C-alpha cells in the first residue's frame, strides 16, 4: 500500500481549515479509517496533519495558500536510496522514512541499526525548501554507520565527507524557524568548535564547519554543553587535551 502526500496546515489560527479537510476526507469515497483518525488527532493538537489520497488535495483556491504539501514517503525513500548508491554504500536493507509529528525542535533523526529516518513534518512545512538538506543529512548518518561501523562519530570527518560528496555543507545544527508553540526556550545547548590544527575556539548555539582562520576545514572537534553560565564557563576553560579525549570517546 502506498501513502499519499502529506497535507499540512501551517497556521494554527486557521483551525477551521483542519475541520474542512477532515470533513472532506469523511465524505470522500475510499478514505481509509486510519487517515480520518490521524486527521482527528491532529485537530486535537491544533494543526491538521493527514495522509491523504490525491483526491483530497483539491481545496478551494482561497484555502490552498494555507496548505503545504510535503512529498510522499516513497519519494523520500527513493531519494535516500539514490544517495546510498552515490556514496557507494554496499547493498543492504532498504532505509525507511517516516513523518513523526511528535518531534518538536529536531528537524530529523536517524537510527543506524534499524535503518530508519524520522522527519519533523511541522518544522519542515515551515521551511519546505530545506527538506532535502535535512533528509540527506540523516541519510549520511546511516551511510556512515554502514560504511564505517557503529563507533563512527556522529558528526565526524566521515559524515562530513559524505555531506560534501552530496554537495551540501556539513552543518550539525539547523536554523529553521520554529512553530510558535515551541519557540520559547528552544535552544537548550551551546557548542564548542575547536580547530584541532591551531586550537582556535568558537562557542555558539549552532555549529558551522566553514574554513578556519588557519586554512583548515575538516579538523574540528565539537562538544555540547547546557546553555547556562556554567556550561559556557566549562567550554571556555576546558583544556585542549580534555576536548580531544572527550571527542575520542564519541
Grid coordinates in use for 1?
500500500
What is the pLDDT, as a whole number, of residue 83?
96
pLDDT at 70 over 50: yes
What is the pLDDT, as a whole number, of residue 8?
54
Spatial neighbors of 69 by CB under 8 A, at least 6 apart, are 5, 6, 7, 8, 57
Of residues 48 and 170, more confidence is placed in: 170
What is the pLDDT, as a whole number, of residue 66?
43
Rounded distance between C-alpha atoms, residue 50 and residue 92, angstroms: 31
Best mean pLDDT range from 65-74, 139-148, 169-178, 201-210: 139-148
Nearest alpha-carbon partner for 192 in 147, 151, 226: 226
Q: Range with the lowest mean pLDDT among 52-66, 152-166, 178-192?
A: 52-66
Pairing of strands 116-119, 6-9: unpaired
Nearest alpha-carbon partner for 69 in 47, 51, 87: 51
Rounded distance between C-alpha atoms, residue 50 and residue 3, angstroms: 11
Of residues 5 and 228, more confidence is placed in: 228
Residues shown for the chain: 250
Percent of the chain with pLDDT over 70: 68
Of residues 144 and 59, more confidence is placed in: 144
Best mean pLDDT range from 21-25, 43-47, 83-87, 195-199: 83-87
Q: What is the CATH code of the structural domain delimited by 73-165?
A: 3.30.2010.10
Domain boundaries in the chain?
Answer: 6-70, 73-165, 187-249
Task: Band the pLDDT of 87: cuts 50, 70, 90.
Answer: very high
Beta strand residue intervals within the chain, DSSP E: 6-9, 49-51, 67-70, 96-99, 108-111, 116-119, 189-195, 201-204, 220-226
What is the pLDDT, as a whole number, of residue 3?
56
Percent of the chain with pLDDT over 90: 28
Nearest alpha-carbon partner for 166 in 210, 201, 208, 136: 136
pLDDT tens per residue, range 98-120: 999 888 888 899 999 999 999 99
Average pLDDT over residues 53-73: 52
Amino acid at each position: 500500500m502506498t501513502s499519499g502526500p502529506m497535507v499540512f496546515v501551517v497556521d494554527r489560527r486557521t483551525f477551521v481549515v483542519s475541520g474542512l479537510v477532515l470533513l472532506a476526507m469523511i465524505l470522500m469515497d475510499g478514505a481509509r479509517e486510519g487517515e480520518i483518525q490521524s486527521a482527528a488527532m491532529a485537530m486535537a493538537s491544533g494543526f491538521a496533519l493527514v495522509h491523504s489520497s490525491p483526491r483530497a488535495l483539491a481545496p478551494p483556491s482561497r484555502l490552498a495558500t494555507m496548505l503545504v504539501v510535503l512529498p510522499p514517503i516513497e519519494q523520500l525513500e527513493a531519494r535516500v536510496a539514490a544517495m546510498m548508491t552515490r556514496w557507494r554504500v554496499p547493498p543492504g536493507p532498504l532505509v525507511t522514512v517516516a513523518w513523526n509529528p511528535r518531534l518538536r525542535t529536531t528537524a530529523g533523526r536517524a537510527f543506524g541499526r534499524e535503518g530508519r529516518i524520522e522527519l519533523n513534518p511541522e518544522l519542515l512545512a515551515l521551511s519546505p525548501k530545506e527538506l532535502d538538506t535535512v533528509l540527506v543529512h540523516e541519510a549520511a548518518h546511516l551511510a556512515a554507520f554502514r560504511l564505517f561501523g557503529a563507533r563512527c562519530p556522529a558528526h565526524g570527518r566521515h559524515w562530513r565527507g559524505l555531506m560534501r560528496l552530496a554537495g551540501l555543507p556539513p552543518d550539525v545544527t539547523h536554523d529553521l524557524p520554529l512553530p510558535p508553540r515551541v519557540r520559547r526556550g528552544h535552544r537548550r545547548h551551546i557548542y564548542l568548535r575547536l580547530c584541532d590544527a591551531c586550537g582556535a575556539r568558537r562557542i555558539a548555539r549552532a555549529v558551522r564547519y566553514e574554513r578556519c582562520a588557519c586554512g583548515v576545514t575538516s579538523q574540528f572537534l565539537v562538544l555540547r554543553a547546557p546553555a547556562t553560565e556554567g556550561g559556557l564557563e566549562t567550554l571556555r576553560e576546558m583544556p585542549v587535551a580534555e576536548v580531544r579525549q572527550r571527542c575520542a570517546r564519541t
